[in-house]
Amino acid sequence: DGGITQSPKYLFRKEGQNVTLSCEQNLNHDAMYWYRQDPGQGLRLIYYSQIVNDFQKGDIAEGYSVSREKKESFPLTVTSAQKNPTAFYLCASTSTGGFQPQHFGDGTRLSIL
Amino acid sequence: QKEVEQNSGPLSVPEGAIASLNCTYSDRVSQSFFWYRQYSGKSPELIMSIYSNGDKEDGRFTAQLNKASQYVSLLIRDSQPSDSATYLCAVTPSGTYKYIFGTGTRLKVLA
């Protein structure tokens, strides 16, 4: 079955540590997105990518980095510069950015140790 | 002014009633509109997409779009306790690949 796989489901970060969240899709979608969701909040865009080897900052990119070396994969690194990383992280993809609906993975819940 | 606004709720309706959820947006030339349902601790799942003015029906769900007034709504007929969730409205402003989400409306359907 086609879909988006995010891993791990839960992740704990120590002070000063970088952690990487995985997002893989087999939907043959061109566009991929990373969102952060805090309790009682909507989704805030971190980074997005329309094609391989190209990505753009969203509204809250500081303290995060991404890569898009393959169409299927869009990993997100939460760096030590992100001082408040505790949140629910969602990866999404769509066939045509801005027109078609997004499909979401199951999310990764990141907490600080 | 927020780009996409929703009443946070909770909106409480009795089982079997119609639930009406509303969303307003600021970019007059926004092009695509989506409603997602999100259960607590889960990821959003798509309920409806709507692109042109008017109503679009899918089962118990009806999306309504009024571009002149810049609002989109979702009606849920015959509401069930399983419909209790947070409903997110998403809009794609013109000339962008971004999706802008509202903060969601929490719906509680009372048995």
Q: Are strands B4-6 and B19-25 parallel, antiparallel or unpaired?
A: antiparallel
* Structure confidence by residue, pLDDT tens digits, A44-101: 999 999 999 999 999 999 999 999 999 999 999 999 888 899 999 999 999 876 678 9
Q: What single DSSP character describes residue A15?
A: T
Alpha-carbon separation of residue A40 from A76, A110, B53, B80 (angstroms)? 23, 16, 30, 23
Contact flag B43-A90 (C-beta cutoff 8 Å): yes
Instruction: Say what the pLDDT of residue A42 is.
Output: 87
Q: Which residues of B are less than 8 Å from A43 in CB distance? A: 44, 88, 101
Contact flag A42-B104 (C-beta cutoff 8 Å): yes
Contact flag A97-B97 (C-beta cutoff 8 Å): yes
Task: Kindly report which listed range (A2-6, A22-26, A37-41, B54-58) carries the lowest average pLDDT score.
Answer: A37-41
Q: Residues B68, B74, B76, CA angle at the centre, nearest 5°?
A: 150
pLDDT value at B14 more than 90: yes
pLDDT value at B54 more than 70: yes
